[in-house]
Amino acid sequence: MKEQKLKRILNSLKDKKVLVVGDVMMDQYIWGKVDRISQEAPVPIVEIERYTFIPGGAANVVNNICALGGKVYLAGVIGNDGTGKRLKNELKNKGVDTSSLITNPRRPTTLKTRIIAHSQQVVRVDREIKEEISEDLAKKLLGKIKRVIGEVDALTFSDYNKGMAASSLIKGLISLAKDYHKIITIDPKPVNLLKFKGADVITPNQVEAAQGLKEEVDVNEKKLEELGRKILKLLECQAVLITRGEKGMSLFEKDKVTHIPAVESLVYDVTGAGDTVLGTLTLALSAGADILSATKLSNYAAGVVVRKVGTATATPQEVKGMLK
């Protein structure tokens, strides 16, 4: 019965509409080989063979929702640069509504460049401005969001602490969600955790939950439950979902706690798995699923993604295969 229920939810996700707000970025991979060490410094010389560009951050949440058949509206800030143009074009090609994406010449598009040789990451270089967006920019974003919010079934905020979590934007976003009776989910960074009071569901990982409350990171089951209940109370949300990597997930609701084991896997690459959980959970809730079923479905979707190396997504067919 459980498998059939989750399959029904999975089949109902197609064409549900989600507004994704957050820190939009591009992940660049430079692939090459190393045959020698530089004479200038004790570092490897990487001979470049190819480049790969993948939408990242909040745009990876977009990727995950699209992969499951959902329709996405994206609100965020990109720079007036080649990376921003490439990112916007890639998203448009996926059918994403980018009308709420603002181009700001004062902020470069966040770009994370990873140089990889012989399947090993040599170095990562980040180009970004992390300071909070201005009040004026937040106001413009809220204006754009207000114009499209009536068309979507749910909202989600993907926080990578790159400046989008400005208090005025967060308060305005949660207020709009309540005014329009839309579900809103949040994947927060620790430094911004307490800003998201009033959201429906918060999805930090275990480390983020502890750091957000300035608690010890290495927690036992009892301490974990204290953390979850404390966040639930402080943020006055409907549920807190703490992801725990190989240990699975813990769902905190007002009257109960449910621990959900991770799907077994020989490969366990958690890169981007939080984006998969956020995207799947929000899409399932937008389709009318109860929070426990939506959580279980997101757990299976994450189980697909962690079996893949690097940033990845899960398709409905892959999740159905995992359900078996």
How high is the pLDDT of residue 125? 96
Q: What is the enclosing helix (H) or strand (E) of 86?
A: helix 82-93
Q: Which of 153, 200, 275, 290 is catalytic?
A: 275
- 308 by Cβ neighbours in 10 Å (0-12 / 13-18 / 19+) ranks as middle
Which residue type is seen at 84?
G
How high is the pLDDT of residue 176? 98
How high is the pLDDT of residue 119? 82
Joined tokens for residue 35: 């045959």
Distance CA 204, CA 212 (A): 9
Distance CA 198, CA 311 (A): 30
How high is the pLDDT of residue 307? 81
Residue 149 to residues 62, 179, 309: CA-CA distances in angstroms?
16, 10, 35
How high is the pLDDT of residue 267? 56
Which residue type is seen at 201?
V
Distance CA 131, CA 301 (A): 33
How high is the pLDDT of residue 153? 98
How high is the pLDDT of residue 269? 61
In the chain, what are the domains?
2-28+57-323 (3.40.1190.20)
How high is the pLDDT of residue 266? 59
User: What's the predicted TM-score (pTM) here?
Assistant: 0.94
Distance CA 27, CA 314 (A): 18
Distance CA 10, CA 68 (A): 8
How many helices and strands in the chain, by DSSP H and E? 10, 13
Which one, of 157, 84, 162, lies nearest residue 128 by Cα? Answer: 162
Measured on CA atoms in the order 243, 248, 253, 257, is the torsion positive or negative? Answer: negative
How high is the pLDDT of residue 3? 85
Give the mean pLDDT per block of 10 residues along the chain (324 residues).
Answer: 88 96 96 96 96 94 96 98 97 96 96 92 95 97 98 98 97 98 98 97 95 86 92 97 92 95 71 89 97 96 83 89 86
Supply the DSSP symbol for 165.
-
Is 23 considered catalytic here? no
